[in-house]
Amino acid sequence: MSIVNLTTTALAAPLTDLTGSELVEMGLCIVTELFCILLMIILFRTYPFHTHLWMFLVNLVVIIMIYTALRFTIILFAFYRFNADWERVTQWLGYVRYIAVFTESADIFCIVCERSLAAKFTKKYEKLKCYAIPVLCIGLCWIAMSLLVVYSMHFGFLPYAVVLCIVFGLSVTSAVMKENIKSSKFLLPLISFLTLTSCANIVLLMLTTYFKNSFISIRVFDFVLSVRSFIVPIVIAKGHCAFRNQLLMLITTASNLVSSTDTGEMANSRARSGQVYAIAKTALDMHFESLRNAWEMAEAHRSANRRLN
């Protein structure tokens, strides 16, 4: 029996037979969707300072909204008795849900790689506004995970354990590579939380696959995923505020530096525009310098560890 069928069978009872965990999950799903909508409004109303990172974060929020809404729908279908039509619909809903869950690990891996490139190449990378590359990466992640899930869960052409190993490998690699984004401190709590919980969820799915009495693992997996989905938008919002405060601090410092070199008052709008441009340029230079310093410190730390080993 596939893991999606196990999930649907566990929810085949009417609402009166459901445990309290599913009712708590429904509440968490509703609150999570509201948090995600508010977070999307914030992301679209804020100028994307790092455009490529912004696109991956938007994709991450969309992924959370998708599998949270699907989980709510699957629980809601437990109002009805189990039948063949219900099983077929819920089975495909479960496929899409697992596609979104696995695509999240790929998106986290893309975020870590993107920030590593940004930290290493700094100015050259940030000046390259190539929107096609993030869109292509996001599209490939969705397509690859869709093929893996459908081929393994529906057709059985690929062992399900292989899919879990791939997703687990992406999460572990992201956890190892997160030291490359030390300059982006607002991302560290998010990446650490996502990689840790993702690895734990994959372990639960592995237990579900290899043990016959796996309903407990399924329930624990679903509940942990719901709680995790509730926390992630909060972590992203807190990181966004921390990044915004960091930029404001840099702009304030740059403004003081520019003002200290200004000998006279601004006579016209052109002079004011020139000062605004100088402040922005100085703030950007300071930000890129912090990225470059953090990358060089990480490189020096890795070199020292290699010499010791």
Q: Which domains does the chain have, with CATH numbers?
A: 3-246 (1.20.1070.10)
Alpha carbon 201 to its chain's center:
15
Give me the pLDDT at residue 148, please. 92
Euclidean distance between CA atoms 78 and 86, whole angstroms: 10
Residue 183 is classified by DSSP as T
- The count of residues in the chain is 309
Asked if residue 63 lies in contact with residue 100, where contact means CB atoms within 8 angstroms, the answer is yes
User: Residues 187-219: pLDDT tens digits?
Assistant: 777 787 888 888 888 887 777 766 655 566 677
State pTM to two decimals. Answer: 0.74
For the four alpha carbons of 21, 23, 24 and 28, in that order, the dihedral sign comes to positive
Residue with tokens 């929107």: 131
d(CA 220, CA 292): 42
126: which 2 tokens? 């940030």
Residue, of 136 and 305, whose pLDDT is higher = 136
CA gap 223, 231 in Å, rounded: 13
pLDDT at residue 14 in the model? 42
Tell me the pLDDT band of 13, cut-offs 50, 70 and 90.
Answer: very low
Q: Which of 249, 232, 119, 92 is nearest to 177 (CA)?
A: 119
Q: 51-76 vs 84-121: helix axis angle to the nearest 10?
A: 160
Q: In the chain, which residue ranges form alpha helices assigned H by DSSP?
A: 3-10, 20-45, 51-76, 84-121, 123-127, 132-149, 160-177, 188-210, 215-261, 269-308
- Confidence check: pLDDT of 176 > 80: no
Q: And the tokens for 48? A: 């994307």
Asked if 102 contacts 145 with a C-beta cutoff of 8 angstroms, the reply is yes
Task: Between 137 and 253, name the one with better pLDDT.
Answer: 137
Average pLDDT, the chain: 73
Q: What is residue 188's predicted lDDT score, i.e. its pLDDT?
A: 73
Work out the average pLDDT over 56-69: 91
Distance CA 308, CA 20 (A): 53
